[in-house]
A and B are shown apart, each in its own frame.
Chain A
């Protein structure tokens, strides 16, 4: 029993991070059709910021979370203004927005990843934080994993609440359905787009900060998370925030159980098999009606 509990819990902890990463990316795609393939690189930046905060400034990583979120939000607004605003304005069709934003994403990926190599080198970095084991319901976990889980789920739920109950959230959801929707609720997309893009990156930054508490970090750490986020988005449905949350947990569980019963080297194979299976069987996502 305890063994099952531990397996499920591990799956959910992994899934919480996946959900958080996917939510930000999905929000950007759903609202603006920006397929930001460099999402994982911003996660990496969040992780390095936290590491710097801990090792250089001696700040508690949890205390540092809001700083990371704000920094990434600001960066996101800047990146939107510098790159994506022009694409959305000049692209003749939605498909061109997707194609061009994907290419700009690749550009950002090369740029950020290699700038990180230049700045911090290829070595794995890390610090120890709340590494002692805690007993929960008969299973033992590292305390930092529980913290990570709590914050990942907390941040995801907070975002869902914002989407559901605030005016800006309603506008975003309306916009995902039709571009004129936001005008009906009286929101100016000139401000909405950069804010949402910044929000997406803030999510990625928080995820990176959380990951740095548990794992060692490197400039290339973000890329697999981008791929995983894409899988989660497809699982949950493009543009569906709740779908991303559920999809994240689902993928976390599938990976954990799959790896336990087959072999850890099959992790990515499993993810991709799930992705392709879902895309073929339910292209609109598992939870689409």
Chain B
């Protein structure tokens, strides 16, 4: 069997994106909304795995990037074109990640997880304080949101870009450097990788997508406040989806984001508490008995076939 090359994978992504682009005219509103959620989580999870899956750094900063993007939209709506807001949201998150990354990326393990979580909360509390003190409100109303079809296409574009970027990074020297860092950072350094620069670059690149997605999705809410867009649940859910899917792969997080979005849509509304109890249990079982994620099932199956 021939292995997929980078070009094959990119072509497959583009084809899939084109097929998905036609959905607004083929699907019901409900199915479209569900697909939109899938796309958002796929973009978030793939971009998270791009950095964290390779380097084994556990970042909980997704909510921070997402919220920053959302606030770019909230502040800019009416004066900024929607597409431009999305771009700026992504750039703001990427710049923030580069700045913060320069300061905290030397930390590892639990330290890194805690500080990235703390950063999100810090930004959230800072914005809450700023809005209360200077804007006199806690939340903002989104007036004149763009059409659902437009939002859908923008989110699709950002998520497809995230997948293509992840594919390119994985095949590049940067990807090799990140895998080396994940395996043994000091060893990577002794072989000539400037690990600090590689990590900041990748962290910043992976932050662009949650920022852009936050800006794109913000208009779906009619009312934005810090608690809803900086919701740590967005960050946790992203990490969960990526790890359940298999954070060292690209297809795994995509597959599990579909799974999670569908589960969430059907169960969460009907049995909100029970759903989360089951989600918790499922997560524990997955980590204990399938630590490589869903992707490892596929790998095991392939391995079995190639040996037979």
Contacts and interface: CB of A to CB of B under 8 A. Distances in A.
A and B touching (C-beta < 8 Å)? yes
Interface of A: 29, 33, 35, 83, 86-87, 90-91, 94-96, 98-100, 102-104, 106-115, 117-118, 227, 230-231, 234, 238, 265-266, 268-269, 272-273, 275-276, 279-280, 283
Interface stretch (B35-43, B140-148, B278-286): B278-286
B56 A95 contact: yes
Contacts of B272: 114
Contacts of B129: 265-266, 269
A111 to B, nearest CB: 3
Interface string B120-133: 01100110110010
Contact of A276 (B118, B243, B274): B118
Nearest to B113: A102
Q: In the complex, which range does the number of interface residues on chain B fall in?
A: 35 or more
Main SS of chain B's interface residues?
Answer: helix
A231 B118 contact: yes
Contacts of A230: 114, 117-118
Given A107-B283, A115-B277, A118-B277, A90 B291 contact: yes
Given A108-B280, A114-B276, A272-B125, A100 B110 contact: no
Contacts of B243: 99, 103
Nearest to A34: B110
A265 B127 CA distance: 12
B280 A114 contact: yes
Interface stretch (B100-108, B163-171, B205-213): B100-108
A239 to B, nearest CB: 11
Nearest to A93: B56
Contacts of B109: 33, 94-95, 98
Contact of A234 (B111, B126, B128, B284): B111
15 contacts: A33-B109, A33-B110, A83-B288, A86-B288, A103-B287, A107-B279, A110-B279, A118-B273, A230-B114, A230-B118, A265-B129, A269-B125, A269-B126, A272-B125, A279-B115
B240 interface: yes
Contacts of B229: none
B239 interface: yes
Nearest to B126: A269
B184 to A, nearest CB: 9
B151 interface: no
A107 B287 contact: yes
Contacts of A280: 103-104
Contact of B113 (A35, A87, A272): A35
A35 B110 contact: yes
A272 B280 contact: no
A29 B109 CA distance: 11
Contact of B115 (A29, A111, A275): A275
A190 to B, nearest CB: 18
Enumerate the 10 nearest inter-chain pairs by beta-carbon distance, A residue then B residue, closest first: A110-B280, A111-B280, A107-B283, A107-B284, A269-B125, A114-B276, A272-B122, A114-B273, A107-B280, A117-B273
